[in-house]
Amino acid sequence: MHKVIYCILFLAIPLASFAQTKKTTNTAIALAYMKAYGDWDFDSMKIFYSDAIHFEDPTAKEAFKQPFVFDGKESVYTFFKDVFKDQFENDKPPYVDFKISKTFSSGSHTVVNSTFECVLPAAWFKENSEETILISIPFTTILTIENGLITKHIDYGDYTTYFEQINAQINN
C-alpha cells in the first residue's frame, strides 16, 4: 500500500510542477506580449506569433461595423501596424497603454484584464481637426499560447464607453 502511495506521489509532484511551470511561462509570455502591445511595438509583438495566429475582436466588429478578424502572422502584423497609419508621427499615438489589473492562466489560455488608454486623432470624428481625444476603456485580451507562441489573440473592449468618451470630448 505504501508503495502505491509513493508511486502516486512520485508521479504527481513532477506533473504539478510541470503544470505550474507552464502556467508561469504562459503568464510571462502574455505579460511580455502585452508590454509590446501597450508600447505599440508591432515588430516585437510579431516575435510572439505562431505562423497561423488568429486575431479577432468581436466587440470592435460590432462597434465599427467591419470585420476585425485576421489570420496569419503577416495579416495580423499588418492590421496592427496600419491602425494609426498617417495619423501620427511614426504612425504611433503619442500615448497608448494597457494598465493591467489582473491576469490568470489556465492550460494554454491566459486572460489579461486591463484598462486600455490611448490618444486618438480627433480627425477621425471631426473634419480638419488637429485636436486629440483621450479614451480609457475596460479591455480584456485572451491569448492562447502553444509551444511558447501565441496561436490566438482575442480582444474584447468596452466600445460603449469608448464612444461616450469621444462624444463628450468632440461636443465641447
CATH of the domain at 146: 3.10.450.50
Distance between CA atoms of residues 59 and 19, nearest Å: 32
CB 139 within 8 A of CB 98: yes
pLDDT score at 4: 46
Compute the average pLDDT of residues 30-59.
Answer: 95
Q: Which of 78-92, 109-123, 139-153 has the lowest mean pLDDT?
A: 78-92
Single pTM value for the model = 0.82
Q: Burial of 59 by CB count in 10 Å (0-12 exposed, 13-18 middle, 19+ buried)?
A: buried
CB 153 within 8 A of CB 141: yes
* Count: domains in the chain: 1
Domain membership of residue 25 as a residue range: 2-170
146 φ, ψ (degrees, to nearest 5): -130, 130
| Per-residue pLDDT tens over the stretch 64-89 | 999 899 999 999 999 998 887 766 67
